[in-house]
Structure 1
Amino acid sequence: MTESQTRSSRTGSWDRPATWKAFALVAGYLVFYVAVSQVVGLLAGDRIDDENVVADPGSTFFALVLPIGIGALALLAFTWRVGWLPAVFGRQPVAGRRWMWIAPVLVLAVVVGHAGAVDRDGWTGGEIAVLALLGVCIGVAEELATRGLAVEMLRDAGHGERFVAVVSSLLFALMHLVNLIQGMELRTVLATVGYTFCFGMCMYLAMRVTGTIWTAIVLHGLTDPTTILATGGVDEAVGAQTASGWSTLASVGTFAFMAFALVAVFLVRGRAGERTGSASPA
């Protein structure tokens, strides 16, 4: 049996290309995540600090790490079940261009800035460890859902890379609307959606230029914990920070990669070729 026949026999309806399936996949993941969060809340609600979910390691674990970790495992299981592990985690079918390196460099500058701005006396070793674990879970879950599966589905549907980049980044941004259910203010959620669209574009570019989704997973996995440690809260990447020292680097880097992401929307080119063929030019 050929590789394509094996893949077709395992994927079933998911192997039939359609743009809407990327939206369905992300929506399904969000429903699953919210359901898991509700169950965890019922079973371990007394361990979660509703006022500040990162107040202590136990609260962070049950409120964030466990639901997102379960979601990541579910996405990995789905990816394996439909036979897309090689496609998602293998070499990108569309080569990147040198200008795309700007995206991961700017994001890494923000990570460094946030890491340098952390008040180490304000966090315990246990809190830092559980936030690091959270980063791993977020990096795998959110990148697999959007830069992995959604990108795979959009490419299979025959779309060019600009469409793939914008739509997968939009899906990533819209995922954060779930924060409304968790009581976050609308203004903060909308700001987060704008930020995450730009961040998603940068993750797409990082994946393209390095040829692997692992770059996006690692960068994303570093971004969230360092942001929380530096700002003291969840989804505070677009909030005001002290304009001095390392915080200045993080702030300038954030606005720089957001601006660059918007410009990059008009620069992305290319179209995925055959999986077995060579990478097409960007």
Structure 2
Amino acid sequence: MSDTTPTIAPEPRSPWKRFWERGGWWRGVLLAAVYYGIYQLLSIAVNAVFPAGGSVRGELGSAMDVFLGTGLPIILGGAVLLGFAASLGWVRELFGPQPVRGRRWMWIGIVVVLLINVSALLSIDTQSAGAALIASWLFTGLFVGLAEELLTRGFVVNFMRKAGHGEIAVALVSSAVFAALHAGNFFTTDQGLSTTATQVVYTFFFGLIMYLALRLTGRLIWPILLHASTDPTVIMFAGHPSKGNPLSILASLSTYLITVTGLVLLIVFIVSERRRARRDLS
């Protein structure tokens, strides 16, 4: 007697999903460019509705100014990225266990970032900053970490792996895209070229450490949280440093520490990955 149970054909993917499923570095760059444009438009819209110095936002640098001027655009941008992930059915894939795991030496970068963040947090003049501003920055930092890590260590890494690129290329491209996003600060802020160049170098190596955190922990949530603890603490320390605190030395040298640590870890990573590739071939 033959089996007449009907087979269920897999549901055909839409052209939208097929396009992004092919992956590739240029799709990561394309998504980053589109996201950056959307984020800038969202910032313009928020500033139009809640103008700087207005009655709602209050004075520059206040808790509400930080939330509306910095936090709200990136919260909306993060929502756009999550919606994009949902449209592809990638939410579980992006936030689930990673297919490639790391090595114990990758803890070095994570420890350096955590030491800097803790030192910055403990070196903030809390009376000068105020509880409201600290809370506003910490809340905003969660969405900074979510949006920027979801884009670069989530989508860009996934695109690269789907196209079959090796992990050295994955690390370099995802870090370069992250750094390129910050290059736009030259045009959107009043900081000079040298400051922007320093920031781009810093963010490249910070991005590399976040990639290593992704490899080591195996889940995107951990680089998101590590990133989320970085921007608020470093920014608040820069604006409200406490005097005479010896811990502030680490926070003051954060740019150099991250750059040097990232450079050393990049060299170790390249050597390690090449050895791993040779072992896989043998």
TM-score tier by shorter-chain length is: 0.7 to 0.9
Residue 122 in 1 paired to residue 137 in 2? no
Q: 1:133 aligns with which of 133, 139, 153?
A: 139
Q: Distance in 1 between matches of 2:134 and 2:14?
A: 43
- Give the greater-gyration-radius structure (CA): 2
**1:247 maps to amino acid:** S
Relative distance call for 1:185 and 1:254 in structure 2 (3 A) is closer
Q: 2:81 aligns with which of 75, 78, 92?
A: 75
Does the 8 Å contact 2:25/2:173 carry over to 1?
no
Relative distance call for 1:93 and 1:48 in structure 2 (3 A) is farther
- Matched with 1:180 is 186
TM-score, length basis structure 1: 0.85
Write the mapping of 1:166-245 to structure 2, written as runs, cut at 5 A.
Answer: 166-183=172-189, 184-232=191-239, 245=246
Q: 1:102 aligns with which of 97, 101, 108?
A: 108
Deviations 1:208-253 (A, max 9, x none): 11111111000100111101111118xxxxxx99895111132456
Does the 8 Å contact 1:48/1:59 carry over to 2?
no
Matched residue SS, 2:100: coil
Q: Distance in 2 between matches of 1:101 and 1:48?
A: 45
Q: In terms of mean alpha carbon deviation, does 245-254 or 183-192 score higher?
A: 245-254
The root-mean-square deviation of aligned C-alpha atoms, in Å, is 2.9
Q: Percent identity?
A: 37
Q: In terms of mean alpha carbon deviation, does 206-215 or 37-46 score higher?
A: 37-46
- Matched with 2:269 is 268
Deviations 1:254-278 (A, max 9, x none): 53332121122233369xxxxxxxx
Give the superposition deviation at 1:180: 1.9
- Structure 2 runs not aligned, ≥5 long: 1-6, 272-279
Give the superposition deviation at 1:10: 6.8
**1:117 maps to amino acid:** S
- Matched with 2:248 is 247
Residue 84 in 1 paired to residue 90 in 2? yes
Relative distance call for 1:241 and 1:132 in structure 2 (3 A) is closer
**1:24 maps to amino acid:** L
Does the 8 Å contact 2:123/2:242 carry over to 1?
no
Relative distance call for 1:120 and 1:269 in structure 2 (3 A) is same
Matched residue SS, 2:137: helix
Does the 8 Å contact 1:172/1:196 carry over to 2?
yes
Give the superposition deviation at 1:92: 1.1
Give the superposition deviation at 1:42: 1.5
Matched residue SS, 2:35: helix
**1:20 maps to amino acid:** W
Deviations 1:68-116 (A, max 9, x none): 1100000011011111112210111111011111111110000111011
- Matched with 1:275 is none
Matched residue SS, 1:266: helix
Relative distance call for 1:146 and 1:202 in structure 2 (3 A) is same
Relative distance call for 1:66 and 1:6 in structure 2 (3 A) is farther
TM-score, length basis structure 2: 0.85
**1:213 maps to amino acid:** L
Give the superposition deviation at 1:48: 6.5
Q: Distance in 2 between matches of 1:102 and 1:119?
A: 28
Q: Distance in 1 between matches of 2:181 and 2:264?
A: 23
Q: Distance in 2 between matches of 1:214 and 1:46?
A: 33
Write the mapping of 1:151-170 to structure 2, written as runs, cut at 5 A.
Answer: 151-170=157-176
